[in-house]
Amino acid sequence: MASNKLSFILSTFILVVYQCVIPLNAQLQVGFYNGVCDFVESMIKEEVRDAFILDRGVAAGLVRMHFHDCFVRGCDGSVLIDSTPSNQAEKDAPANNPSLRGFEVIDDAKSRLEFLCPGIVSCADILAYAARDSVEITGGPGYDVPAGRRDGRISSSREASANLPSPALGVNQLIQAFANKGLRPDEMVTLSGAHTIGRSHCISFSNRLFNFNTTTTQDPSMDPSYAAQLAQQCPQGSISNPNLVVPMDPSTPTIMDTCYYDNILANRGLFTSDQTLLTNPSTANQVIQNAQNPLLWENKFADAMVRMGQIGVLTGDAGEIRANCRVINN
């Protein structure tokens, strides 16, 4: 009797914990479009490649866009929806505007696919494929993308602000933010490695350079020479200038590698949320492992991207297949 009661309590506890996070979905399938739109992946890869030739930074933009999509309402393509006079969409939240880029790549891929396979391929899946292709084209691992996502019909800048992790978060806050989406602490450290490509606006880290607190001007956890370099690139009077950007990984800003972790170990993490990974023994150990074993990190990164791509997805008859990724269907 006591055993049955204990089992009931444990089952109830597990259910409550499960309901506190957005579940990962097992209904997605690799090769979902086989037989109905066979060339979907190759066509999206072409669009990513062509855009990358013109602007190598677009790859980082697409990886980040996929992350920002999945952390708000799940991976439902809601980050692609345009604002209207009555609704400010996710893409116009402070965390996304003006920093998100690559929307035109999704638009071009969607236009081609709608011409050849009308009403078949979701915008959410296009974005997931494009993120994978962006990882691969910058030297990162290739991986199979389970598909079958459907597109959401709601996009809110308020929800984006509430769900997207800030670059100013500490390690415990990061762990909780990822746990809320069903991701483990080690997956958080692994996915943070995407900061090895791309750029940041000065305002996202300027708090570490000027008036850090009442006793020191610069964040003492940042290498002083790196802080001085950043202060030159981002003068105090111009930090809100949207045209001022710096690479997140100065050594290899367009290559998907483990230099991000080397930078953290050298106290050259750009964001508070980067450098804070050294303040927890477990996450610090992950940083060291990833820096020392690039192949291990690549394998973990591929797995974590697949896991992230399953957060809160819409499948079956839920949602819709948007005809235009920027606008919900009538």
| Residues in the annotated binding site for Ca(2+) | 69, 72, 74, 76, 78, 90, 196, 249, 252, 257
Q: Give dist(CA 15, CA 74) in Å, integer.
A: 20
Q: Residue 140 corresponds to which tokens in the numbers above? A: 């990162």
Hey, CA dihedral for 207, 211, 214, 219, is it positive or negative?
positive
Q: Give dist(CA 204, CA 164) in Å, integer.
A: 13
The answer to whether the beta carbons of residues 311 and 75 sit under 8 Å apart is: yes
Number of helical (H) and strand (E) elements in the chain, helices listed first: 13, 2
Q: Give dist(CA 213, CA 295) in Å, integer.
A: 39
Do β-strands 245-247 and 199-201 pair in parallel, antiparallel, or remain unpaired? antiparallel
Is 324 strand, coil or helix? strand
Q: What is the dihedral of CA 65, 280, 168, 56, to 10 degrees?
A: -40
Comparing C-alpha atoms, which of 212, 298, 312, 223 is closest to residue 263?
223
Catalytic residue among 45, 64, 66, 68: 68
Comparing C-alpha atoms, which of 24, 27, 8, 26 is closest to residue 16?
8
Residue where the block lists tokens 């062509």: 50
| Residues in the annotated binding site for heme b | 195
Query: For this structure, is 201 an active site residue?
Result: no
The answer to whether the beta carbons of residues 88 and 101 sit under 8 Å apart is: no
Residues taking part in catalysis? 68
